Structure formats: C-alpha cells, structure tokens
C-alpha cells in the first residue's frame, strides 16, 4: 500500500461526518463520540498499515469506534449501567437513505448526519459556535485547522467548542430534525452557516490571503451532503450551485504575484468549466421545482456571469432584473447595492451612481467597504478622479484584507497619475 497515512487521512475526511453523527446518536455525547472516533482512526493507522485498507473502511472504523464506546463504559463506573443500553443502540444502528419530505406529511429523518447538522446549527448557539461545531464534527477539521482558517488562537477556538457542547447539554438541545412547522426557519439557519463558511473562504475578512480554499472546499462538501440528505428542497441545490459557480473563478481572482484581479479582467479560459456546468445544471433543476428562493436567484445571477464568454457579453439587463426579484424576496442594502451596479452597467453609469447616492443617504452601508469600492469604480469610469480616489480611500480604511488593501492602493495610485 502506497502512502498509507495520506490515504487514511483522505478516508477520514470523507467518512468522519457520517461516523461521528452515528456515534453522537448512540452515545448522546459529543466528547465521547469524538474520543471514540479518534481512537478508532489511530487503530486504523496501525492495522491498515500492516494489513492494507479493508474493502469498506467506513464500516471498519464505525465498528472499531463502537467497541471503543463500550470500553469507555466498562472503565467508567458511572456509565456501566448504560452499557446494555449502548450495546442495544449500537446493534440497532444501521445506514439509511435520504430524507423524505412530503408537503403534507411529517419529516422522516433517516440519517444521523441530518440530525447533527440541525444540532450544530441550533438557534440556542451563537453563530461562531455553530460554524466551529459544524466544521469540527461534520467537516472533520481539527481545532488547529479551524483556528488557522478563522485567524483565532487555538485556545480560543477550543474554548468556543467546549462552550458549544456544554450549551447543547445544559439546554438539552434535542438531537433531531425539527418538526415540519419549524423546518423552514431552521433549515435557513443551516444554509446560512454553510454560506458563511464559504464566504469567509472565498473572500477572507482579514489576513494576508484573499482566498482560504479549505473553507470553500468544506462548505461545498457540506452543501453536497445537504442536497444528498434533503434532495426535495430546491434552495439546497441553489446554495450548492451558487458556491460552485463562485468557486469556479478562484484560480483567476488573484494573480501570480498575489494581486487581486477584478471580474472583468479575469482570464475566463482558466475558470473551472466543469464546476460551471454542474452549477448551471443544479440551478436549472432547482428553478424547475417552482419554489424560487434567494440562493436560486443568486445562483442564476452567478450563472449569467459564468456563461458570458467575455465581460462585454455579460447580460446585465437580466442580471439587474434578477436583483430586482431578489430584492422582493430578500430586501437588504447589499442587494440594493448589487442591483445599482448592474443597472449602471446596463442603463448607464450615472443612473447607477444616483441609486448609490440614495443608498449612501440611508447610511446603511457606511461601514461596508465594498459599497465605497463600487461607488469609486463608477466614479473612475466617469473620469471623476478626485471623487473616485476619496471613495477608494474610504474603502481602504474599512478593509483588513491585505490583498484587497493592495488593490485599493493601486487604484488610488493610478488615479493620481491620470
């Protein structure tokens, strides 16, 4: 067997979410489940290095982890009385298919991962805890990896996880899929957590790198899991499509020298066209379910950008119309900002700038660097250079990302040379 440790690590990434979800259900403990999983993988490294990887590595690790759980009960007197119950749970544990969602019937949850997703994203937990717990359990990322991705100290992230697990136990948060009446709001929270993880990877809020690929990859993988478990929900497909379409451009968003490359200057031949094709198929299938949501509309907008052969071929009229639809479904200042930019590119820069002026007067986006960057770009295109430079300086003062800061400084310098 070549490179056994690398192969085992790959298996861990692929299988850990499914296995930890099962272990949490049978043990009713995040900590015991994580300990059993880690011990089982440690055993796998030794056994598989000597004997080779089994035909069904996931089943091997699950069985080993179940034995570890029983061993823990035997060693701990306070848990000995639970050994029989634990054995019963383990013996009755088996793999199920996807969830069946009937419009007028109950949700039939038949997968432990779905229970775990809703537990990790329970509204009783704050958003930081939801993100950390989702990446730790379903994503299989280590505490060190999550801390590094979000630029926080490992001790801080570890404490965040401890508090989240304690909250689940103290508040008796149920390990279950919510009832049908609460499902839309709870599912929206799950989707929001996955998209937040993706966005932090796609454009890091701070640090030296614009993109953190491991976060984008984990968000997409978890998005696939959500589609697999709840295929009848079109917004799940819309979310996955949106992430794939954005991620298709990641290799062209930063130059070889580490400089930010705007969308209109990116080399479209280097976009990931397989991802684009998959994203377009997903959004088309979602829209055909006739239950249009915000992620589907955003994915449709991303598809229009992705399918344009050149920047000049972009269908800005359709994009501005879609942003108008999005404003009805999910009204927000950022949607209004994007619609204003699309109108500027379709109907004229002055019209877009006038809409941005209305937004500016509201004060809703005064601390949002992309608002000032967008306004600066329209002013630059209109050759109103001193106003553009002032707007770029305002954007610069509001972002902590090093790549974005270099781009904004470069724009300011270019205006100074005109």
**Strand-pair partners of 206:** 400
**pLDDT value of residue 49:** 86
CA distance 10 to 416: 51
DSSP letter string, 12-52: HHHHHHHHHHHHHHHHS-HHHHHHHHHHHHHHHHHHHHHH-
Helix, strand, or coil here: 107?
coil
pLDDT confidence band for 210 (50 / 70 / 90): low
More confident residue, 243 or 416: 243
Is the backbone of residue 76 left (phi > 0), alpha (psi -120 to 50) or beta?
beta
Q: Which of 126-135, 266-275, 329-338, 388-397 has the lowest mean pLDDT?
A: 126-135
Lookup result for tokens 């955003």: 298
CA distance 2 to 60: 20
- Rounded to two decimals, the pTM is 0.79
Name every residue whose Cβ is closer than 8 Å to that of residue 239 and which is 6 or more positions away in sequence. Answer: 191, 194, 195, 223, 226, 295, 299
CA distance 289 to 235: 10
pLDDT confidence band for 179 (50 / 70 / 90): confident
Lookup result for tokens 């179940």: 66
Neighbours of 158 (CB within 10 A): 17
**pLDDT value of residue 105:** 35
* pLDDT surpassing 80 at residue 328: yes
Lookup result for tokens 């002013």: 379
**pLDDT value of residue 107:** 37
CA distance 28 to 233: 28
CA distance 323 to 338: 7
Give the mean model confidence (pLDDT) for residues 280-305. Answer: 96
Residue 156: enclosing H or E segment and its boundaries? helix 154-170
Tens digits of residue pLDDT in 85-136: 555 454 555 444 444 434 333 333 347 888 889 999 999 999 889 999 998 8
pLDDT confidence band for 4 (50 / 70 / 90): low
C-alpha dihedral over 400, 402, 406, 412, to 10 degrees?
Answer: 0
**Is-contact 30 162, C-beta < 8 A?**
no
372-400 burial: b if 16+ Cβ within 10 Å, else e: bbbbbbbbbeeebeebbbbbbebbbebbe
**Is-contact 17 225, C-beta < 8 A?**
yes
SS3 content of the chain, % helix, strand, coil (to 5): 70, 0, 25
**Strand-pair partners of 91:** none
Tokens standing for residue 30: 């995040």
- Parse the chain into domains and list their residue ranges: 4-91
**Strand-pair partners of 400:** 206
Tokens standing for residue 175: 């390990």
């Amino acid at each position: 067997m070549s490179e056994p440790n690398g192969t085992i690590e790959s298996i861990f990434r692929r299988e850990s979410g499914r296995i930890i979800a099962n272990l949490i259900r049978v043990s009713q403990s995040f900590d015991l489940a994580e300990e059993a999983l880690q011990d089982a993988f440690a055993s796998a490294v030794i056994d598989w290095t000597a004997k080779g990887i089994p035909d069904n590595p996931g089943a091997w690790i699950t069985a080993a982890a179940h034995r570890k759980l029983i061993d823990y009960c035997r060693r701990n007197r306070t848990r000995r009385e639970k050994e029989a119950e634990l054995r019963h749970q383990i013996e009755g544990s088996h793999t199920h298919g996807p969830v069946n969602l009937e419009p007028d019937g109950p949700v039939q949850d038949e997968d432990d991962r779905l229970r775990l997703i809703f537990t990790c994203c329970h509204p009783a937990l704050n958003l930081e805890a939801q993100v950390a717990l989702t990446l730790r359990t379903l994503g299989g990322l280590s505490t060190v990896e999550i801390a590094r991705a979000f630029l926080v100290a490992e001790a801080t992230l570890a404490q965040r996880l401890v508090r989240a697990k304690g909250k689940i136990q103290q508040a008796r948060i149920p390990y279950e899929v919510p009832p049908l009446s609460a499902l839309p709001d709870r599912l929206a929270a799950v989707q929001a957590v996955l998209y937040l993880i993706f966005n932090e990877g796609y454009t890091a809020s701070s640090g030296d790198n614009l993109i953190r690929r491991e976060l984008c990859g984990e968000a997409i993988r978890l998005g696939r899991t959500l589609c697999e478990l709840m295929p009848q929900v079109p917004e799940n497909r819309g979310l996955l499509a949106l992430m794939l379409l954005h991620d298709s451009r990641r290799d062209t968003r930063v130059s070889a020298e580490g400089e930010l490359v705007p969308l209109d200057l990116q080399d479209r031949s280097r976009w990931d066209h397989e991802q684009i094709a998959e994203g377009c198929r997903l959004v088309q299938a979602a829209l055909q379910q006739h239950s249009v949501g915000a992620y589907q509309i955003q994915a449709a907008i991303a598809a229009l950008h992705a399918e344009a052969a050149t920047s000049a071929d972009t269908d800005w009229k359709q994009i501005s119309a879609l942003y108008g639809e999005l404003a009805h479904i999910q009204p927000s200042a950022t949607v209004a900002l994007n619609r204003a930019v699309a109108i500027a590119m379709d109907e004229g820069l002055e019209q877009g700038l006038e809409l941005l002026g209305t937004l500016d007067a509201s004060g809703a986006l005064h601390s949002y660097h992309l608002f000032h960057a967008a306004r600066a770009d329209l002013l630059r295109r209109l050759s109103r250079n001193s106003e553009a430079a002032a707007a770029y300086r305002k954007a610069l003062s509001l972002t902590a990302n090093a790549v974005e800061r270099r781009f904004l400084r470069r724009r300011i310098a270019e205006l100074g040379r005109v």
